[in-house]
Structure formats: structure tokens, C-alpha cells
């Protein structure tokens, strides 16, 4: 994927707290729960629910969010298109990590089984 540095900078400076409510709305509209969302976030980042809430309160940027995360070793198995980009082709590491999270949330909202979302099978 060819991405502009402006696009990557914009994503890096965006706060997790500004995007999180959109994740919740998206998954709840499709009958999924916050608990499932937390499970997905924990799988990708290692952050438990209380840590996620603290990061929201701190208004950390996505850059800070992923600097603190311990990315799952299976994250590279996340493939497909999200927001018009093929996640496995994104060159900027941080932008790719944010799109990994977007992709997982999208899969959750689309009703995919948790085992598949968490790359267990």
C-alpha cells in the first residue's frame, strides 16, 4: 500500500478515546457486546478491560497506545481489506497496527466467530 506521511501522522496523533466509542457503536448495532470487544482488544494488545479504560481516560494517541501494547504474535495473520487498504500490505507499522484493530472490530461486527477473529483456528 502506498500511504502518505500525512495519513500516517494523522492516525498516529488520533486518540484511542476518540475512536473507541465508534467501535462500541459498530459492534453493539450488530448484536455483539463490549465484553467481546474487550476480548478482541486484549488478544491484539494484551490490554485487559481496566487498562483499556485507563488509556481512554489518559486520552493516549494511537502511537502511545501501540507503543505500550504487546502485539499478539499472530497479528500478522490478520489479512483483508479495511478502510480501502489491504492490511497485510500497509508499510507503516503503526498504521498497520491500527488497521489490524479496525479489521478485528469489523470482523466482530460482521458476526464472525470469536475463534476465527482470534486466529485460533
pTM higher than the cut 0.85 = yes
How far apart are alpha carbons 39 and 18 in whole angstroms?
Answer: 20
pLDDT grade for 104, boundaries at 50, 70 and 90: very high
pLDDT grade for 3, boundaries at 50, 70 and 90: low
Q: Specify the pLDDT at position 1.
A: 42
Residue 12 has which C-alpha cell?
Answer: 498516529
Is the distance from CB of 90 to CB of 1 less than 8 angstroms?
yes
Instruction: Give me the phi and psi of 14, to 5 degrees please.
Output: -70, 140
Total length of the chain: 121
Is the distance from CB of 75 to CB of 84 less than 8 angstroms?
no
The mean-pLDDT minimum among 23-32, 48-57, 79-88 falls in: 79-88
What are the extents of the domains in the chain?
Answer: 5-117
CATH 1.10.8.290 fits 5-117, yes or no: yes
Amino acid at each position: 500500500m502506498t500511504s502518505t506521511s500525512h495519513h500516517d501522522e494523522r492516525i498516529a496523533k488520533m486518540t484511542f478515546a476518540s475512536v473507541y466509542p465508534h467501535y462500541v457503536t459498530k459492534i453493539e448495532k450488530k448484536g455483539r457486546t463490549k465484553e467481546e470487544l474487550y476480548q478482541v482488544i486484549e488478544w491484539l494488545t494484551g490490554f485487559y478491560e481496566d487498562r483499556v479504560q485507563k488509556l481512554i481516560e489518559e486520552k493516549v494517541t494511537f502511537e502511545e497506545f501501540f507503543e505500550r501494547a504487546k502485539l499478539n504474535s499472530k497479528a500478522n495473520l490478520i489479512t483483508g481489506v479495511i478502510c480501502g487498504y489491504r492490511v497485510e500490505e500497509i508499510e507503516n507499522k503503526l498504521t498497520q497496527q491500527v488497521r489490524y484493530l479496525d479489521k478485528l472490530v469489523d470482523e466482530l461486527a460482521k458476526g464472525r466467530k470469536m475463534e476465527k477473529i482470534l486466529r485460533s483456528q
